[in-house]
Amino acid sequence: MQDKDKKSTETEILEYWQKNKIFEQTLAKTKKGKPFVFYEGPPTANGKPGIHHVEGRSFKDVILRYKTMRGFRVPRVAGWDTHGLPVEVEVEKELGLKSKKEIEEYGIEAFNKKCRESVWKYKKLWEDMTARMGFWIDMDKPYVTYENSYMEKLWGVIKNFSVRKLLYKDYKVVPWCPRCGTSLSSHELAQGYKKIKEKSIYIKFKAKDKAGGVFYFLVWTTTPWTLPGNVALAVNPKATYVVAEKDGARFVLVKERAGVLEENYKIISERSGQSFLGVEYEPLYRTSGSELPIFNYKVIGANFVSTEDGTGIVHIAPAFGADDQKVGKENGLTTLITTAENGKMLTPDYLWNGKYFQEANQFIVQNLKERNLFLKEESHEHDYPFCWRCDSALMYLAKNSWFLKTTAVKKEMLAENKKIGWHPEFIKDGRFGQWLKENVDWAISRERYWGVPLPVWICEKCGHQEVVGSINDLDKLGPKRTTRVFVVRHGEAEHNVKGIVGPAIPARDFDNHLTKKGIKEAEKTARALKKEKIDLIISSPLNRTRQTSEILASTLGVKMEVNEQIYDYNIGDFHDRSIKDSHIEFPFERRLCEPFPNGESLRDVRARMMMELRRIVRSNSGKNILIVSHGDPMWVLNASLEGLEEKNYPKSWYPKTGEAKELKLHNWPYNRDGELDLHKPYADLVNLRCQKCEGNMSRVKEIADVWFDSGAMPFASDVPGYPADYIVEAVDQTRGWFYTLLAVASLLGKKAPYKNVISYGHVLDSEGKKMSKHKGNVVEPSLLFDKYGADAVRWYFYTVNQPWDEKLFKESDIAEASRRFLNIFRNSFVYWQTYKDKSKISKKKPKLLINKWLNARMNQVGYEATEALEKYDIVKAARAIENFVAEDLSRWYIRRIRDAIRFGSKKEKEEISSIFGLALYEVAKLSAPFVPFLTDKMFLDVMGKGSIHLEKWTKFKKPSKADKKLAEEMNEARRIVSLALEARAKAGIKVRQPLALLKVKSKKLNIKNKELVGLIKGEVNIKEIKFDPKIKDEVELDVNITPELKEEGQLRELIRHIQEKRKEAGLQPSDKTTFVALTDDKGETFVKKFESVLKKEAGIKVISFGEPSKPNRLTISLKFGI
């Protein structure tokens, strides 16, 4: 393996994968395998990908690669989430729009067109990041939520809900974003909470007792802006309340909270909450339009009133709280709307009228103070909801909205949740389980623009409702069609015979007429159309169509008109060129979107023909119309009318010369470009015919919650398989995609849509804040890939902590992850390549103990890693592999075989090379799902072709008793080594200095096993080991160094110095050198004594003394003394 930088090495592998279609090969190889189903949670490409996106994709890819190597068929289809507030808010910023009113002034059609363009803003960055990090997924055929086919299936899902009576409209209090002007669902609400500090106030509601004495109900609130909407006060009937006197005034509040009066108050009496029911009080405000008489404001009972905070008395404003609305309905209370949808106050009698609701707080508080209805204020810290997309403070507002009755399937969702393999396990009954228990009906409608229009049509006459499930339903339920349209392509003309492009516009139409065959074709078609009772013929202005039309008009006896807009495909400068040549230079994909020089594109033709067809149909209602035109215009017109995707145009009907066809006029929405388009405003223009009263039906204005788009993906996309075996997204998706997937499936009566899920923690910046494009603290992945390699970034996520733990991101941790595993693995591989024997790797049973142990240990690690991956314990598997490579392979095995692989017998070298190579191969396979680049580079360096990712996963065996015993003995030997090296360090004796004796106390050590003892001797550099149960410590070293031992130590030091010089010179182990010893007579004697050892172990060919005569890179000179 050459020492290239990580970027160039990984780029080289990427190019190899693409050139040889390795991903496609893995799918082909496993096409008959058992399916393993994966769903991709679709991102939105209107924001740049960050390192937090690499985290999720890393945890996805590792399991998918692993399962593929296990022989499973693992189709991986990418997806794009393309609708909703995430897109709209970005486009608003881009266009400088600040409200829905400004959007509507700009134009919904133009706004939605910008939204469509915006979702692909960073598509290439996403695709590049996905490829660069090695995440294998089909990006060429993704599911896209704004495509008609996907949206139509979503309509089908909604119709299914309706049939099951799970879709309904109701007037409810919903979370409302005044900036975005739309309601939000409970799961969207849950994603935007922030802890804030704000002022809470204690206010006085004036009342009178039976004797006419004045007292005050004391109320606590954090939302003064809701006070104008107050219609009642609520107490807990079961609680005990007190009447307390302070500064000459009497206050009523719950007994447990009397302390809020602070000092100098006296409790006069105690009463039950029940006793206050029906007591009237004076309203704080009288709002114009209220029908409530001044003393019809009463105290009501409500069990939700708490005695632990506030005052035990809650002011009730049914327009601004779900509990308030519920108790309001139970008590027949009026709902006062005193705040508009845009967040501005609707209180014309007061100073704060027209103020934003939060701004109104200060005016209302001042007003209460001036009227002596204000007691005190205090700072209050609590969680407050903000819009999950625009970050504006939300309000709760009573609105007519559409809901999915998720509460009806709450029991089913809870039961299915029990079957899901959650990682971490505690989410099952914790964050997700509790969310399901507290489930409320899903507010599915949004008062916005860019999304799936709710397919609900309501009769303007009788109110009958229809939920449409497909575009065919639009035809079935549409107005009765009385207009028929036929098209005829002109008969064969002279340019058809010549095989050239005919004139497209009258200015070029000089001398191109029908051939005799063309005349006969027109006459034959005319006879065939007699039975259709044509009322009018509309002809293209060109000679060949006019001539055809005249023949038709004569035979049919009807009037002919010339229409200047239905001319042939204008290919500009390619006029009179051969059709074959024009198609070679402008193939279909190019012709579709790029105009010919001085001509038009097929999209231009489609838009022109569709616009003219609409005008013709409107102008000739109830007639049978015959349009005579040309091949290409008729082709794209028909394809467009049928709602075909552009990629399917080439396979669709293309008219022959003289051929007639009746067009099917659908009751479908088409945009200005002539495409089928189910979005607003086009869907809003489609009307239906009421099946009850024949009245006109129009679509409701709302679109669907964007979370429904992705939540219904198993039923709206072509992703194969249900349910998913595996999905992965961030922990906040317990309130998002994880929930909506389960909710949609349960509403459809299906089982849980996923079996196993990893919910990973957020990546935090250096200040501990969640990374997001909104905060601008996103780390760009490409910079990290280039600097450290994608493998290092991936390995960081697999080993830094558990997937679900938050990750305080530090770049240095990636470098550490690389050093801890990748560098060691790479160096181990290089070492094997350097010293391996030429014989092939074999699986023969080894004879050397160290090799037997390595085989056993490799099998154990493989077994453990496989078991962990089967349980989706990615971190456990990764750490097991890392520990094996770093501790077992590098720090033990390689150290113990260094001499044998270099200087051992031929058989020893062959066996070590084979077992070492086999271990590296198995580790490479184990690691391949985690670090796909390095492992494939190693594989290709050895094999030269293929891929590690096409290899089969090894079936590791459960460790045998013999293997476990061997592992225990080796662990004990390594423990003894560790203790002995520690004793050396304490004695200040280097390991290169041999010692005579090591005494061992442990009975676990198999002293009889000479190979095992030999390993200890070699690692500790000891001559003899003895068992001695009487020694004080676990080990005892004989630190006496004899002259012979000292001399041997000096030899080791000299060899080390020579090796360092070789390394500095960049020499390979195979390079033989000349060693020039710069020393005294004593040193020369020493070198000569150990000449053979030096030559063997230091790669020396010639030894000389004195200054070198001809220095070169293979000459090493070293000054030393003995």
Residue ranges of the annotated binding site are 489-496, 544
- What CA–CA distance (Å, rounded) separates 770 from 615? 54
- What CA–CA distance (Å, rounded) separates 417 from 759? 14
- What CA–CA distance (Å, rounded) separates 725 from 72? 12
What are the Cα distances from residue 840, in Å, to 848, 849, 910, 916, 926?
Answer: 18, 21, 9, 11, 21
Tell me if 180 sits within 8 A of 451, measured CB to CB.
no
Which tokens sit at 642?
A: 């049928």
Q: Determine which one of 113, 773, 1017, 1095 is catalytic.
A: 773
The SS3 assignment for 229 reads: helix
Instruction: Give the β-pairing of 1022-1027 and 445-446.
Output: unpaired
Angle between helices 85-95 and 108-118 (to 10 degrees): 110
Q: Does residue 93 carry a catalytic annotation? A: no
Q: Find the Cα–Cα–Cα–Cα dihedral 249, 251, 255, 256, rounded to 10°.
A: -90
38-67 residues labelled b (16+ CB within 10 A) or e (exposed): bbbbbbbbbbebbbbbbbbbbbbbbbbbbb
Which residues, in sequence order, are bridge partners of residue 80?
Answer: 144
The SS3 assignment for 461 reads: coil
743-764 residues labelled b (16+ CB within 10 A) or e (exposed): bbbbbbebebbbebbbbbbbbb
Q: Does residue 723 carry a catalytic annotation? A: no
Amino acid at 138: D
H-helix or E-strand containing 269? strand 265-272
Amino acid at 832: W
Half-sphere exposure of 120 (CA within 13 A, CB side): 7
Q: Determine which one of 155, 220, 442, 707 is catalytic.
A: 707
Which residue is it, tokens 């086999």? 918
Q: Does residue 773 carry a catalytic annotation? A: yes
Nearest 5°: phi and psi at 980? -65, -40
Q: Which residues are annotated as a binding site for substrate?
A: 489-496, 544
Tell me if 177 sits within 8 A of 342, measured CB to CB.
no
How many residues belong to the chain? 1122
- What CA–CA distance (Å, rounded) separates 89 from 68? 40
Apex 348 CA angle, 343 and 352, nearest 5: 55
Task: Write the secondary structure of 189-223 as one string of H (helix), E (strand) and C (coil).
Answer: HHCCEEEEEEEEEEEEEEEECCCCCEEEEEEEECC
Q: Determine which one of 169, 326, 623, 770 is catalytic.
A: 770
Closest to 953 (Cα-Cα) out of 857, 881, 865: 865
Which tokens sit at 245?
A: 């006197």
Q: Determine which one of 220, 422, 442, 737 is catalytic.
A: 737
Which residues are CB-neighbours of 641 under 8 A, at least 6 positions away? 610, 613, 663, 664, 665, 666
Q: Does residue 80 carry a catalytic annotation? A: no
Phi-psi region of 380 (alpha: psi -120 to 50; beta: other; left: phi over 0): beta
Instruction: Give the β-pairing of 536-539 and 559-562.
Output: parallel
Instruction: Give the β-pairing of 395-404 and 442-443.
Output: antiparallel
Q: Does residue 707 carry a catalytic annotation? A: yes
Q: Determine which one of 6, 61, 67, 81 is catalytic.
A: 81
Tell me if 673 sits within 8 A of 603, measured CB to CB.
yes
Nearest 5°: phi and psi at 296? -110, 15
Angle between helices 51-69 and 790-799 (to 10 degrees): 90
Q: Does residue 517 carry a catalytic annotation? A: no
Q: Does residue 737 carry a catalytic annotation? A: yes
- Which residues are designated catalytic? 42, 81, 707, 733, 737, 770, 773
